[in-house]
A and B are shown apart, each in its own frame.
Chain A
Amino acid sequence: MVQTASREARGPLTQAFFDRIAAVAEGEKLKACIQCGICSGSCPLGFAMQYPPRRLIASLRAGVMEQVLQSNTPWLCVACYTCTARCPSAVGITDMLFPAMREALLMQGVGVPGELQTALENTFRHGNPLGEPPSKRADWIQEVDVPVTDLSADPREVDILWLVECYPAYHVRAKETVKALARTLHALGADFGVLGQEERCVGDSQRLVGENGLFEMLVEENGKTLDRFQFRQIIVTDPHAYNALKNEYPKYGVNYPVQHYTQYLASRLEELRPMLGELNHTITFHDPCYLGRRNGEYEAPRQLIQAIPGVTFVEMERNRENGLCCGGGGGGMWLDSFAYEYAKERLSEKRVREAARTGADVMAVCCPNDLLRFEDAVKVVGLEGKLVVKDIIELIDEARKG
């Protein structure tokens, strides 16, 4: 289709989009784009987008935004941060451009994919995108054989406040990582507690999906909850929560020291190391976008894996800042059917094939999205029996017992 540069009249969608861009400080940076195309070439889903980032910005400048907003593009970004990390002009494609398009669509109620709508409604009503009962958030504590303080039932001052997050608290598979972390924290003699029924979603993916009002509501509620408890620092199971608490919550005045659990354990590696027995595995590691590319933490997870005696560690071809996204970020967990319709292959399926090519028998992860998506992908591409997906904390827990 040949496009002219003639300016269309701004429809309500386009107006809502520009209102949002004008409202954010980084909006101005769109002007700095030099149309180099690095973003489009780097985007793992660019091939499926009707308007990959460079073309999208060109259309925006040409004043033909309405058709971009109505294309498949706004919902295909998985917020992997590759484009933003590589852009020579520091254009906020991931944090600003895509969320603004999505917010315009949400505000006008245009083409919001059903799965996503359900996840957002669940977050609003129940404080978790899965639609699980808030009263059962801490039920996993009953399934673990070490004491865990539920501060909502037993408020006291603790050294570490552990935000468990939604998938780890409820999902039958992800819960295993939570139990393993509880056991390891206990073994280290850490003084920790969880918020139990008072915990609500941290909301980073809801932010990236353009539901800024929902994100702000969660920040307010979580800010108030955190204020009521006494602790020295927060640790989180999920890199997305880490990102939000580190980079987004402070913008709203909610400011607490936070570490991803791998960072905390790496800081106590000398105490942990003597507890670890041998594990005979060849292990490769998938960098979660929101620990690695977005926040520059590449070492802590690798240190933990390499501290386990008997392990051979191998890197995938694309690693660290070049790691391929699992496809679950930025709401990707709730846009799976939508993305599949256009991409015909999940990023997680590509990624487990890459992991298998290293010769590893274990693919280590440290993000709940990764665990669930890769385990499914292993089954889809027929790698069952050849490649096992494990969270780093599960490997540590096994090594500690073994």
Chain B
Amino acid sequence: MLDIVVPIKQVPDLVEELEIDPSGTALGLERTRFVVNELDDHALEQALLLKEKHQAQVSVIALDVGDVEETLFMALAKGVDQAIKISGDFGPAPDNHTTARVLKDVLGGLSHNLILTGVQAIDDLDGQLGILLSSYLDLPYVGLVSGVQIDEGGSKATVLKELPGGVKAELELPLPAVLGIQAAEQPPRYVPVSRVRQAMRTATIEERSAAAEGNGHIRVRRISKPQVGAGAELLEGSSEDIAEQIVGILADRGILR
């Protein structure tokens, strides 16, 4: 039996504008809505595709941050077999070192042949979670994966990676392994609202707790919005005025005649 574990992470939903905390070293998260990190959603989709092909067992695990329950119920509605929420003293925005340490403890008690996670998350663009997990668990790792095949016996995986310059590589690695997913083989599926609501009524999210020991020793010194630099020109006025100005600029540069 193939056991797939998908660690997923909550990130701020960019539909609303981001605010910076008065400290200037973090995002103001009080009024932020959270959403599953997009590449983790791809990791989940890839897991579901493998489940359909190999009758795999899929577990989704996440630290209790943001609106994690909604995300876990959506995963249950999509057909995962188990959803686990981990609580602990890791604060509202744990870094990848903290997250990996928490996850490795939980993963220790969870059967796994394959760990799929998004190759990076939009809130830190750090891209290290999969790597850290693979080193803690002493498993092989491949990142930026966009296709996964498992052999009949479930002993090895063949993964697809798109390299720069339009070149594709196929790599083979023994299972168990950790993969950082760049894209699932198909876009994440739609889950009808009636399924989500049914999951909220009938399915359960398992709860675990884990201690967060240490972090990555990285201190955020400053978070700020980009400033308008010298040389930038802001076009102002009504839509018509701005359109005129753009046409003028394009004509000046010889792009339009």
Contact = CB atoms under 8 A, between A and B. Distances in A.
Contact of B195 (A107, A120, A134): A107
A124 interface: yes
Contacts of B192: 103, 106-107, 211, 213-214
Given A133-B15, A133-B16, A133-B17, A124 B189 contact: no
A106 B194 CA distance: 11
Given A125-B35, A133-B16, A135-B16, A114 B187 contact: yes
A117 B190 contact: yes
Nearest to A124: B193
B194 A125 contact: no
Contacts of B33: 125
Contacts of B190: 106, 109, 112, 117, 120-121
Nearest to B186: A109
A131 B195 contact: no
Contacts of B197: 213, 217
Contact of B193 (A109, A134, A214): A214
A304 B211 CA distance: 69
Interface in B174-193: 187, 189-193
A225 B24 CA distance: 37
A132 interface: yes
Centre residue among B13, B35, B187, B192 by max chain A CB count within 10 A: B192
A217 B194 CA distance: 9
B13 to A, nearest CB: 7
Contact of A211 (B13, B15, B189, B193): B193
Interface in A214-237: 214, 216-217
Contacts of A117: 187, 190
B194 A213 contact: yes
Contacts of A114: 187
B187 A109 contact: no
A107 B79 CA distance: 12
Give the interface residue-count category, chain B.
Answer: 10 to 19
Given A114-B187, A125-B35, A213 B16 contact: no
A109 B48 CA distance: 12
A282 interface: no
A126 interface: yes
A126 B13 CA distance: 10
A358 interface: no
Contacts of B16: 133-135
A133 B14 CA distance: 9
A212 interface: yes
A106 B196 CA distance: 13
A131 B33 CA distance: 13
A25 B195 CA distance: 22
Contacts of A107: 192, 194-195
A117 B193 CA distance: 12
Contacts of A131: 15
A109 B15 contact: no
B15 A217 contact: no
Contacts of A211: 192-193
Contacts of B194: 107, 212-213, 216
Contacts of A120: 190
Contacts of A133: 15-17
A135 B19 CA distance: 14
B15 A213 contact: no
A234 B46 CA distance: 46
Contacts of B196: 124, 213
Contacts of B17: 133
B64 to A, nearest CB: 20
Nearest to A117: B190
A216 B193 CA distance: 9
A170 to B, nearest CB: 12
B195 A213 contact: yes
Contacts of A217: 193, 197
Nearest to A118: B190
Contacts of A109: 189-191
Contacts of A135: 16
A52 to B, nearest CB: 26
Centre residue among B17, B35, B191, B196 by max chain A CB count within 10 A: B191
Contacts of B189: 109, 112
A132 B194 CA distance: 23
Interface string B33-74: 101000000000000000000000000000000000000000
A125 B16 CA distance: 12
A99 B196 CA distance: 19
Nearest to A109: B189
Contacts of B15: 125-126, 131-133
Centre residue among B15, B33, B193, B196 by max chain A CB count within 10 A: B193
Nearest to B13: A125
Interface in A102-119: 103, 106-107, 109, 112, 114, 117
B193 to A, nearest CB: 4
A69 to B, nearest CB: 16
Nearest to A172: B239
Interface in B147-166: none
22 contacts: A107-B192, A107-B195, A109-B189, A109-B190, A109-B191, A114-B187, A121-B190, A124-B193, A125-B13, A125-B33, A126-B15, A131-B15, A133-B15, A133-B16, A211-B193, A212-B194, A213-B193, A213-B194, A213-B196, A214-B193, A216-B193, A216-B194
Given A107-B194, A211-B192, A217-B193, 12 more contacts: A106-B190, A109-B191, A112-B189, A112-B190, A114-B187, A117-B190, A121-B190, A124-B193, A125-B15, A134-B16, A216-B193, A216-B194
Interface of A: 103, 106-107, 109, 112, 114, 117, 120-121, 124-126, 131-135, 211-214, 216-217
- Closest 7 interchain pairs by CB? A213-B194, A213-B193, A214-B193, A109-B189, A117-B190, A133-B16, A112-B190
Interface of B: 13, 15-17, 33, 35, 187, 189-197
